[in-house]
Structure 1
Amino acid sequence: MLEIKNLNVHYGVIHALKDISLTVNAGEIVTLIGANGAGKTTTLRTISGLNKATSGEILLEGKNITALSAPQRVEMGISQVPEGRRIFPAMSVLENLELGAFLRKDKSEIKKDMEMVYERFPILGNRKKQLAGTLSGGEQQMLAMGRALMSRPRILLMDEPSMGLAPLLVREIFKIIKDINQTGTTILLVEQNASMALSIAHRAYVIETGSIVISGTGEELARSNEIQKAYLGGE
């Protein structure tokens, strides 16, 4: 579904991504793990059109989207749950969700999707009139996920969904990510919590200082001594 070929990204003189290549097949959860500053967020932001590629290609179902704007990519089915959630705090839960569907015109389908979001995240249904800024961290993460789902993505980019959440909530968020994938949405997941990410991922890539250094199935990487030492707190 998504293919990245020899992608390079610069921030001024800093070479942030160096010839990155990766693929995400339809129906998969693929995770990108690595240390802080390795280039994980830059990869997602470049796929969604928020950062410009210096060179290389981004293909969605074979179509080159490297030159398209971020809104055009949303229309084509790419949606991002950003790092730090980035909900609109002074707007209600309902208004945040409506903004997720801002490019859509199919009112009756939008209504159906809103019901689906409330079914998946009952707390949002209970708090639809509440200001988003008054929600807890976990609720804001659910709102950010619900908002992204309102654009009906074919591929969902998720950046650090477990950041700052209590362990119990982290498990719940990962269960929801798995459920979203099982109902047909392809997911590219960036996550600091490598063991949780690898436990649900079909495949995984490890990024170090802007380069992909290892790839394999989630299971293979979870078993790898090298990965355990570097990312899973193993000896």
Structure 2
Amino acid sequence: MLELKNVHTFYGHIHALKGISLTVEEGEIVTLIGSNGAGKTTTLRTISGLLTPREGEIWFEGQRIDGLPAHKITEMGIAHCPEGRKIFGRLTVRENLELGAFLRKDKDGIKEDFERVLNLFPRLRERLKQPGGTLSGGEQQMLAIGRALMSRPRILLLDEPSMGLAPILVQQIFDIIKEINEQGTTVLLVEQNARLALSIATRGYVLETGRIRLAGPAAELMDSEEVKAAYLGG
């Protein structure tokens, strides 16, 4: 469904991604794990068109997308839920969700997805008229994921959904990610909590200073002594 081939991305003169190659198959949850600065967020930003790779290719469902503007990539079915949530604080919960469907014209489909999001996140239903900036951290994360789902993506890019959340909310968010996947949305997940990410993923990639250090089925990575020592506290 999604393939990166030898992707090199720079921030100015800083070489952030140094030849990343990875694949995501339809229906999977694939996770990228690694320490801060490993290139996880840069990988998602490059896929979604916020950054343009200097070398390499990105293919989505048989079409090459590197170099396309971000809104075109969203139209094709890739939604990016960014690190730090980036919701519109002065807009209401309803307005934030409606903005997620900005590129769509199918009114009936939008209504259907609006209900789907509110069923996934019942707390948002209670706060539809409330400004997004007044929500708790967990509610803002729910809103950010819900807004991304309003574009009806084929694949959802999730960047650090557990960041700053209480443990009970983290588990709730991850249960919902699994449910979103079971409903038919493929997921590419970036997450600091490697144990939790690998527990719901099909496969994983370990990034280290802009390169892929390890890759394989999530269960194998969980059992890897190197991964245990570096990321699982083993």
TM-score between both structures, scaled by the size of structure 1: 0.99
2:109 equivalent in structure 1: 109
1:65 equivalent in structure 2: 65
1:19 equivalent in structure 2: 19
CA distance in 2 between partners of 1:109 and 1:214 (Å): 40
Question: What's the offset of the Cα at 1:184?
Answer: 0.3
Query: Over residues 209-234 of structure 1, what are the superposed CA-to-partner deviations in whole Å (9 max), with x where a residue is unaligned?
Result: 00001001110001111100000111
1:132 equivalent in structure 2: 132
CA distance in 1 between partners of 2:54 and 2:178 (Å): 33
Aligned counterparts, 1:1-235, within 5 A: 1-234=1-234
CA distance in 2 between partners of 1:20 and 1:118 (Å): 36
- How high is the sequence identity, in percent, across the aligned residues? 67
Runs of at least 4 residues of structure 1 off by over 6 A?
none
CA distance in 1 between partners of 2:14 and 2:113 (Å): 41
Query: Over residues 91-134 of structure 1, what are the superposed CA-to-partner deviations in whole Å (9 max), with x where a residue is unaligned?
Result: 00000000000000011111111011111111111110001001
Q: Which moved more, 1:203-212 or 1:59-68?
A: 59-68
CA distance in 1 between partners of 2:59 and 2:70 (Å): 14
Amino acid at match of 2:216: G
Query: Over residues 113-169 of structure 1, what are the superposed CA-to-partner deviations in whole Å (9 max), with x where a residue is unaligned?
Result: 101111111111111000100100000000000000000000000000000000111
Point out where structure 2 has 5 or more consecutive residues left out of the alignment: none
CA distance in 1 between partners of 2:40 and 2:119 (Å): 31
CA distance in 2 between partners of 1:173 and 1:78 (Å): 20
Question: What's the offset of the Cα at 1:202?
Answer: 0.2
3-state DSSP of counterpart to 1:222 = helix
CA distance in 2 between partners of 1:2 and 1:159 (Å): 17
3-state DSSP of counterpart to 1:27 = coil
